[in-house]
């Protein structure tokens, strides 16, 4: 166990049990919101570095990890954003938000709700697909097939077919935890990538915001960047040239170089 990991805990917020991991415990608070099939523990290696300067709370998004799940929950973007607002309120935090992929969409939707004060937003390669737009580059069967195999029991070698560039530790951790990703939650989130247009959200951001783009991710194209700049000229855009969508997995140092001091400026 990392010395930076203080504990895991649960809080009842927005009507559900929300599980989180807390790292560091000193400095400005940061809530880290992972992507569509990433339980909190899989972002531990990033949280450890952030914990050198921040008090980091990594969430299990509903339907993933150890947070509430099951057929009775709403897995839409607005519900997940309300979870973040409720979580921050329950712990009396006024944090920065760092969200990756789906988590970045959640972070932005939570921030524009106006219900809680967030200090700043780091949006890491959010899907910008939506009605009438280019589809998200990953395909739904990639998620569903791997989850179904993980439910039966999968090892790192079995996971390699889905994540061929990952190292052994990364594969082993994903194989261990992917079974906690509830398939209907993942399907809903994936479908919402194409139904829920987040571009209007950029115009409503009041906090200092950063957009980090994966140079090899195929998620955010140059024309998307240009549109976002036009919608929100104040947003800071950085790029990690040699990384795919899972930026810190592909280029850990490049991720932190692109992030810089943004969270504590």
What is the extent of the structural domain holding 48?
5-132+197-264
190 part of a folded domain: no
Inform me whether the pLDDT recorded for 1 exceeds 60: no
Q: Pick from 107, 101, 108: which is nearest to 245 by CA?
A: 101
List the CATH number of the domain containing 90: 3.40.50.1820
**Is 255 a residue whose pLDDT tops 90?**
yes
Q: How is residue 16 written in tokens?
A: 């559900």
Domain count, the chain: 1
Share of the chain above pLDDT 70, in %: 98
In angstroms, the CA 56 to CA 52 distance is 10
Longest dimension (CA), the chain: 48
Looking at residue 264, its pLDDT comes to 87
Specify if 27 maps to a domain: yes
Inside any domain, residue 137: no
Asked if the structure places residue 251 within a domain, the reply is: yes
Distance CA 175, CA 31 (A): 24
Would residue 145 count as lying in a domain? no
Residue 9 scores a pLDDT above 80 = yes
Q: What is the mean pLDDT of the chain?
A: 96
Q: Is the pTM of this model over 0.75?
A: yes
């Amino acid at each position: 166990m990392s010395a930076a990991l203080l504990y895991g805990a649960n809080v009842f917020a927005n009507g559900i049990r929300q599980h989180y991991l807390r790292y560091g415990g000193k400095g400005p608070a940061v809530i880290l919101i992972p992507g569509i099939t990433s339980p909190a523990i899989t972002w531990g290696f990033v949280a450890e570095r952030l914990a050198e300067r921040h008090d980091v709370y990594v969430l299990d998004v509903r339907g993933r990890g150890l947070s509430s799940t099951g057929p009775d929950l709403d897995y839409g973007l607005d519900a997940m954003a309300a979870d973040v607002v409720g979580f921050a309120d329950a712990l009396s935090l006024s944090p920065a938000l760092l969200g990756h992929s789906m988590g970045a969409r959640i972070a932005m939707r939570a921030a524009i709700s106006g219900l809680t004060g967030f200090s700043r937003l780091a949006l890491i390669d959010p899907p910008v697909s939506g009605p009438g737009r280019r589809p998200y580059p990953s395909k739904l069967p990639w998620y569903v097939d791997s989850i179904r195999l993980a439910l039966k029991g999968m090892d790192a070698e079995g996971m390699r077919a889905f994540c061929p560039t990952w190292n052994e530790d990364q594969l082993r951790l994903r194989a261990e935890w992917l079974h906690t990703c509830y398939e209907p939650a993942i399907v809903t989130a994936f479908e919402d990538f194409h139904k829920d247009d987040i571009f209007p959200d950029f115009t409503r951001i009041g906090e200092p915001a950063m957009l980090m783009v994966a140079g090899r991710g195929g998620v955010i194209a140059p024309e998307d960047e240009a549109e976002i700049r036009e919608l929100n000229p104040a947003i800071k855009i950085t790029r990690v040239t040699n990384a795919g969508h899972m930026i810190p997995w592909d280029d850990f140092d490049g991720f932190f170089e692109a992030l810089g001091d943004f969270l504590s400026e």
